[in-house]
Every structure is written in C-alpha cells, then in structure tokens.
Structure 1
Amino acid sequence: MAGGDGGVNGEEPAREIPDEITDEILLRLPSRSALARAAAASGGFRALVSSPGFLRRHRALHHREDPGALLGVFTFSLTRDGAGGGVGTGFHPAEPPHPAAAAARAVAGAADFSFGFLPAAADRDPSAADGAGAGASEGWLVRDYRDARFLLDRVAPGTERGTVFTELAVCDPLSRRYALLPLIPEDLADTVDGVLNVFGGRRACEPFLAPAEPCDADAEPPFTVFWTARCQRKVAAFAFSSRDGRWRALPSPDCFIWRRHRSPFSCPMHTVWNRRQYAHGRFYWVDCLTNRWLVLDTRTMELTLSIIPSPAGYWEEHVAIVEAPGGKVGVFAHDFHHPGGKANLHYHTIVQDTDSPRWQLEKTIPLPWPADYHRPFSVRGTANGCLILEVSEEKPAFMASYRVRDAELFKIDVKSFQLEKICQARCAGGAAGECCWPYFGVPPSLSLPTI
C-alpha cells in the first residue's frame, strides 16, 4: 500500500524531467543520427528534436563532428554528346540490411535529385536566387557535392565565355532552394589564358565547394565556392564567399607547369588532375608519377606545391585521400598488378615529422574479389574518413568509357577497415565522365535548408 506521499511500498514517486532539462540533454547528443534514434523512442522527443529552432541550435553546436549517417551514393555521368544526366545519374540509397536504409528511402522520396527546380537557361533572375526555381535543369552539370549541398554549372546563357567561365549554382535538393553565383568579374577573367580542358573535355574549369562553415544558430549557413583552371604555366584560382557575395583571386604556385615530366604511358592529364581530394581543411591533387601534390588550404586561401614521393606501382586512379583520426592525412591505394590474382587495399598515412614528407604503411586489407589485369573493383569516392569501392564483373570504371554496367557499391572506413555493402547501382562512364560522391545526411524530418 502507498504510505503518505510516497510511492508504492514507500518508494519515491517517479518525477518527470522538466522540458528545459530534456532539451539540454538532447542538445548534447553528438549527432543527428543519435537524435533520430531518440526521436524513435518517444513522441515527445520526436516533437522536440524536429523543431527548426532545436535543429539550428544543434547544428551550431555540433557543426564539425556531425556529417550524419552514410545514406547512399550520388553518381553523375555524361552522355556521349556531353550532356548531363547519363545512365546511372542520381541518388542510390542504401539498401537493407544497411542500418540507414529507412532514412535513405525517406531522403530519396523527399528530395529532387533531378534538380528540376533550377532555372531554365532563359530565366536567369538573380532576385530569385534564394527561392524555388521555375525552370528545367536542362544544361546543368553536377560538379561537386559536400555537406548536403550540390554545385552545378552550365555554359552561361547570352555570353561568349564558353566552357571556361560557366554559370554556377549551389543548391539543396531536399529544400529545393538554390543560389545563383555572380559571374567571375572581367578583371579577374582577363588574367586567365591558355586553359586546358578537364572534366572529360566538356569543361575547361573545375569549380568545387569548400566545407560548410560554422554559423550562429539563427543565421543562414554561409558557403564558399572555389573555381580553378589549368593554364599552361600556372593554376588560375578564384574563391567566392556567400558572406560578402564577391570573388577574389588566389595566387598560383611559382613555375607550375602542367605538362612537364608526364610519361606517354601514364594516365591522360585530365584523369590525373580531375581527381581532387579533401582532408582536414585542405584539397589535394596528386600526381604519383612526378610525386607532386598541389595543395589548396581553405583556411589560409593559399595554393602550394609539395613533393611527396609515392610508393612504386601506384597510379592516380588507384589512390584516394581520406581524413584520418588525429588530423592525419590517410591514403587508400592498391597496386596496378595483383600477383596470383589476390588483391589488397593498402592504407597509409602521410608522415610530416621530417623535412621530406613520406607515405607510411599502416595496414593492408585483403579484398574478397579475385583480381588480375581486369580486376572487378575500382576506387570511386571519399568523404568523412570513408572510401567507396565499385565492384563489377565488367570492365572497371576507369576503362569502361560509356559502357553501362551493373555494379555493387561498398564502403570501407579508417575506423573499422571493414567492407560494408551500400547498394546496387546501374553505372556508366569512366573516370573523366562520371563522378561519385558518398551522400551523408539525416531523415528529412531532421533536416534544415542548407541554402
């Protein structure tokens, strides 16, 4: 029996935690993936964590360490005539038994990965840059993805700038919001000449997104876009910030010559220098044959050239840079030849403890697929410490040209080094004609517009 004001058998009655304390507890959960699990446990929790005010506060507090779960892979390929939207273009959601399969299906159903909300070529209206578009995505090519934002470009309508100075748009397919960037000013454009084609020969520029910047809980998230072009004797580079809406020039490394010291048997130049990689605030372009690393530091806005000797037997399409724990730069790589048909993936870190940086082998991971000259796997993309591998019984991606192939996509990361299947996908295109990005995020109910 209850006695006095006590509970049954004299125990203290259960007390509800005040809402403001619950709010603070949930706010300290380290990721929105953890928030999603909390929301599934209680209707009250779900109402709290899905409110825009709470999500803005959580994003401001956990910006750097909260990429969300790996929900799938986005691929983009060109058609034979150079248009976007080739076979395999789109979001490939994680499939059961992947733990994020349900959230991935929700994102696939809610987002517009066709980018049909972007304005049509004849409707460029800067005053509508922050609203929903009123035109088809015809003419737009997907150039980059990072932190739930996509960067697309197209040949600027009504200009003679061609494929060098393209029109750029940053967008969020979940909220269907976008921002059109102003064209690069003429005084900056006039400093660029002798440009070499990249991106499969369809473009002569390489625009890409910087990592998301921290912001106040009530502020619109800012973004930065980089634009680079390979000239004969320099790197032309500009940066745009949404904070002030202006382009600025970045200096090129001295005496940088793109064509020097390339073997006639090595990869084509557009294949080498299309492989932009990122880790801990820096972008990297790696030339294994000449041991050159072009480095763009997003914090200092400086381009530098480093010499880091590569282990023998590695080609650029076999190498992928990842963010390793402790601020280290990690490198996954595999050999071109696989003696006995047994393939291994090698994981290195870049050691900077001497005047001459070097690769240090940390781990060798046996791959379960037999391999020879026609190995069934290829390196496709990296983000947040993980590597995406494509596995196909047909020719590997870098040899496949525009051949359509059925493939499986796998993930391996620097924490577990375990292979995890993500999904099956229909793919087409080679290294220069198709792009592949791991897509990290959260269910739509826990998403905020990034534009």
Structure 2
Amino acid sequence: MADGEAGGGGEDPSRELPDEITGEILLRLPSRSALARAAAASGAFRALVSSPRFLRRHRALHRDLGALLGVFTFSVRPEAPRGEGDGTGFHPAEPPHPAAAAALALAGAADFSFGFLPADDPSAGKWMVRDYRDGRFLLDRVPSGTGSTVFTELAVCDPLSRCYVLLPPIPQDLADTVESVLTVFGGRRACEPFLAPAEPCEGADAEPPLTVFWTARCPRKVVAFAFSSRDGRWRALPSPHCFVWRRQRSPFSCPIHAVWNRRQYAHGRFYWVDCLMNRWLVLDTRTMELSLAVIPSPAGYWEEHVAVVEAPDGKVGVFAHGFHHPDGKADLYYYTIVQDGDDAPRWQLEKTIPLPWPSAYHRPFCVRGTANGCLILEVSEEKPAFMASHRIRNADLFKIDVKSFQIEKICRARCAGSTAGECCWPYFGFPPSLSLPTV
C-alpha cells in the first residue's frame, strides 16, 4: 500500500472520482460559502472551485449574492476632504460576525480608493462614488472644460479586480430635453445616476450585462435615460405627466432633496417615497417605465425614517420608525405593501421590533441603507444621529433582516453625514478566492 493510503488519514477526498464528476457534484452546492467549506477539504477541490469557469457556471446555476461583508460609506460634504478620517471607505465586518475573516481578506485585496480609475486630466473633477450594487461601483466626475454637474463622466468599476468601463456620454439630442435641473446629492450634483441589478448570465462563460440609469429632476417632470452594455447605447424613458417635485414642501417637513437622495430597490423596481404627499415614484427595470403610485402611509413618518426592502415571496417591505419616543423606548415597525382586489395599495403592519437603545433624551440611531432584504442602522452616542450631518463621529453599524428580524452588529466605523450628507451601501460578496470580476 502506498504511503498516505494507510488508514485513510492522508487520502485526498477527490482522488477516487474523475474530475468531471467531482465538478458536477460541487456545482450543485447551493452557495459559495458551501464551496469554501468544500475547498478546505483538499487541494484538488480548492483548485477546481476557484477556477473562473467553475465559478461562472455556479453563478449561472445559483442566485447566490454572498454574505454581508461590510458597509461602504461615502461622504458628499463639500468641506470634507477625501481620505482617512472623512467617513469615506469600506468598513469590513468585525468578529464575532461570521463573515469577518472573508471581509478582512476583501478589505486587504480590493482598492476602495479607486486609484486605478483614469486621472490623466488634471482639469477634470475628482471621481465621486454614486452607487454600489452586486460588486460594482458607479462613479462620476465633472468633465474638463464644462464644469457641468448635470452631464458628468461616468465609470463603472470593480475594486477587487481593478477593472473599469467608461460609459459613452449622453447623446446631444437626449441632453437637449433636460432643462431647469434642480440640484441633488448634497448640492454637488444635478443628476442621479445609478446601477441596475446584474442580470442572470445566459451562459457559463458570459459576463453579466451592465445597465445604468441616469435621472434628473426638473420642475414638472423627471427625466430618465438608460444605458445598456448589450448595444452600448443610451435611450430615453418617458416621464409621468405633470409630475411636480416641490423644492420645499412645508416648514415642518423633510425637504425634497431628502426624498430624491433616498432611492430604494425591491424586486426589479426602484422607489422614491414621498410620505407627506403619499406618492411613490416607481422605475420598473423590466419594462423600463416610470410611473407614479399613490400609497397612503401611516401618519408620523418622514422619508428619512423609512426604508424599502425586498420581502419574501416577491413582496415589498418597509421598515419605519417614528420621530418622537415620549416613553424613552423606541420601536422599529415592519410593513408590507398589500393590495386587496381593486382597493388602493396600503401599508400593512407585520411586526414591531423593540430597539435596545434608549431615546429618552435623543434618538441615537438612524436608517442608513438597505440591500437584499436587510436594513442597516447607525447607532451613535456622540450626538443625536439624525442631527449629526456636519461632523465625523464613531458609530456602530447594525443589520436587521426580514427573515429573522434579529439585530446583528456588523462593525464600528467612522461616519459622517445623514440623509443628504453621506451614502451608505451594504456590501455583499465573497472572499477574493471565490470572487469573479463584475466588470
């Protein structure tokens, strides 16, 4: 008997099966976390499951979004310089979070400073992060010689593979339809570009197609364009008739920029929720249509207290909390949007979640972001979180999802801004050894 075979202790678990059979078995593992455990069993398994072709086949077979590895935040305050200490960057999940090891590996391997993007034109503006989804980041910068914050240069990139794509400019005939644009994004931009979710791949070797939306808010309409990597072209989307965004709706309500900056996604649709006016602006990524829905919301909610999430069974869920907590105890409420027959859609309360942070003197928590059925909350004792828009502060980031409704700490981070002062995206993915380029 050859060395290593006696007793079975040194046997390679894959040596008795042909590679093609082993590959088909591993391909049916339901997630990449299961692949990671299989890879730890032998070198042969590790070489097989980390190959790009195998990972593409696995991605085509399973809709596996990966684990929550951390949170990426970006400060948009004009006075905040980019770099360490300004609240910008990737904050990896920390122990005892189950994905802490993978998150640390990702943080070490990726370039979240985006230093690989072209910087050959010193007269152009600096790249600014505008959106994140499915491992891709969308950034823009003010073009050289124009100073335009309406039609900016756009780049989609993957900080792990350091690959990027520069999008073509919006054609002049489409640009001519945009006029009297109102500023958004902390006053630093007059457009809102964002990424559509990655579509399923058609084949094992296919790269996921890329779709980018561009919107601008004009006094009486929303202008929207869509770019697809399938044909490399921009096209216009029709706007709802006589749609009016008010610059300031009342002295006591959240200003409209807070509504426009809070774009949210669930099951193929993007939403902008105007609680005061009971209006939802809806962009359907499948039909490429914008529409306006009237969905009366419970009294007492401002847009910055509301977050839309993907609920199970294709439902649209909403997390919300009130402004005042007179008894010092705060609750988070979870609703689903339901429609009975021909009746108008309505919010249906599904669950009340007690929050462990007392709010007798101020509210120490605020809604930060959503993705894949989970909500990110920031908790800070340095100052009421919802008022701390002009300072850098230490904060704890927590996750609540629509399946368990358990509060789970992600990490501690340096944060800045609030509704209009900072963007925050939950980062789902895989350790570098099991990741594929997304661009």
CA distance in 1, matches of 2:36, 2:135: 17
Mapped to 2, the partners of 1:121 and 1:196 lie a distance apart of: 30
Match of 1:148 among 103, 124, 135: 135
Separation in structure 2 between the aligned mates of residue 380 and residue 102 of structure 1, nearest angstrom: 24
Q: Give the Cα–Cα distance (whole angstroms) in 2 for the partners of residues 138 and 256 of structure 1.
A: 32
Query: In structure 2, what is the Cα distance between the partners aligned to 1:260 and 1:199?
Result: 14
Residue 269 of structure 1 is matched in structure 2 by 256
In the alignment, structure 1 residue 67 sits paired with structure 2 residue 65: yes
Corresponding residue number in structure 2 for 1:55:
55
Q: How does 1:400-419 map to 2 (within 5 A)?
A: 400-419=388-407
Residue in 1 that maps onto 2:28:
28
Aligned equivalents of 2:94 and 2:36: distance in 1? 18
User: 1:417–1:75: structure 2 CA closer, same or farther, 3 Å change rule?
Assistant: same
Q: Which residue of 2 aligns with 1:341?
A: 328
Alpha-carbon distance in structure 2 between the residues aligned to 1:102 and 1:295: 38
* Paired position in structure 2 for 1:321: 308
Q: CA deviation at 1:227?
A: 0.3
Please tell me the residue identity of whatever aligns with 2:41.
A
Alignment match, 2:288: 301
Q: CA RMSD in A?
A: 2.0
Distance 1:350 1:78 in 2: 32
Which residue does 1:134 correspond to in 2?
none
Q: Runs ≥4 in structure 1, deviation > 3 angstroms?
A: 79-86
Say which is worse superposed, 365-374 or 433-442, in terms of deviation: 365-374
Give 1:197's aligned residue. 183
Q: Note the C-alpha offset of 1:121.
A: 5.0
Deviations 1:310-342 (A, max 9, x none): 011111001001100000001010011113100
- State how far apart, in whole Å, the 1-side matches of 2:435 and 2:53 are: 12
Does the CA-based 8 Å contact 2:125-2:144 persist in structure 1? no
Could you tell me how far 1:288 is from its partner in structure 2? Answer: 0.4
Q: How does 1:201-220 map to 2 (within 5 A)?
A: 201-215=187-201, 216-220=203-207
- C-alpha spacing 1:66/1:165, structure 2 compared with 1 (3 Å): same
Give the counterpart letter for 1:90 in structure 2.
G
Unpaired runs of 5+ residues, structure 2, are 1-6, 9-13
Residue-by-residue CA offset, 1:236-260 (whole Å, 9 max, x unaligned): 0000011111000000001101018
Distance 1:202 1:261 in 2: 18
Q: 1:96 to 1:302 in 2, by over 3 A?
A: same
Contact 1:280–1:323 (Cα < 8 Å) also in 2: yes
Look up the match of 1:385.
Answer: 373
Match of 2:352 in 1: 364
Corresponding position of 2:4: none
Alignment of 1:3-22 (within 5 A): 16-22=16-22
Question: Could you tell me how far apart the structure 2 residues matched to 1:335 and 1:411 are?
Answer: 19
Q: Which residue of 2 aligns with 1:11?
A: none
- 1:114 CA displacement: 0.1
CA distance in 2, matches of 1:441, 1:41: 22
Give the residue type in structure 2 aligned to 1:76: F
Mapped contact 1:83–1:141 kept (Cα < 8 A): no
Q: In structure 1, how many angstroms separate the alpha carbons of the residues matched to 2:282 and 2:291?
A: 5
Q: Does 1:166 align with 2:152?
A: yes
SS of the residue 1:200 aligns to? coil
- 1:258 paired residue among 237, 245, 268: 245
1:430 match: 418
* TM-score of the two chains, using structure 2 as the length reference: 0.93
Identify if the C-alpha distance between structure 1 residues 222 and 237 changes in structure 2 by more than 3 Å, giving closer, same or farther. same
> For residues 260 and 77 of structure 1, do their structure 2 counterparts lie closer, same or farther at Cα, with a shift above 3 Å needed?
closer
- The match for 1:235 among 222, 227, 230 is 222
Distance 2:42 2:88 in 1: 38
Number of aligned residue pairs: give it. Answer: 425
Per-residue deviation, residues 84-105 of structure 1 (Å, max 9, x unmatched): 5571211000001111000000
**Aligned partners of 1:236 and 1:252 also within 8 Å:** yes
String of CA shifts for 1:293-319, please: whole Å, max 9, x gaps: 000000000000000000111110010
Q: Is residue 2:111 matched to residue 1:112? A: yes
Provide the rounded CA distance (Å) in 2 between the counterparts of 1:79 and 1:348.
33
Task: Report the residue type matching 2:69 in the other structure.
Answer: L
Instruction: Please report the TM-score for the alignment, with normalisation by the length of structure 1.
Output: 0.91
SS at 1:417 equivalent:
coil
Unaligned segments of structure 1, at least 5 residues: 1-6, 9-13, 125-136
**CA–CA separation in structure 2 for the residues paired with 1:305 and 1:112:** 39
Would the aligned equivalents of 1:295 and 1:304 in 2 still touch at CA under 8 Å?
A: yes
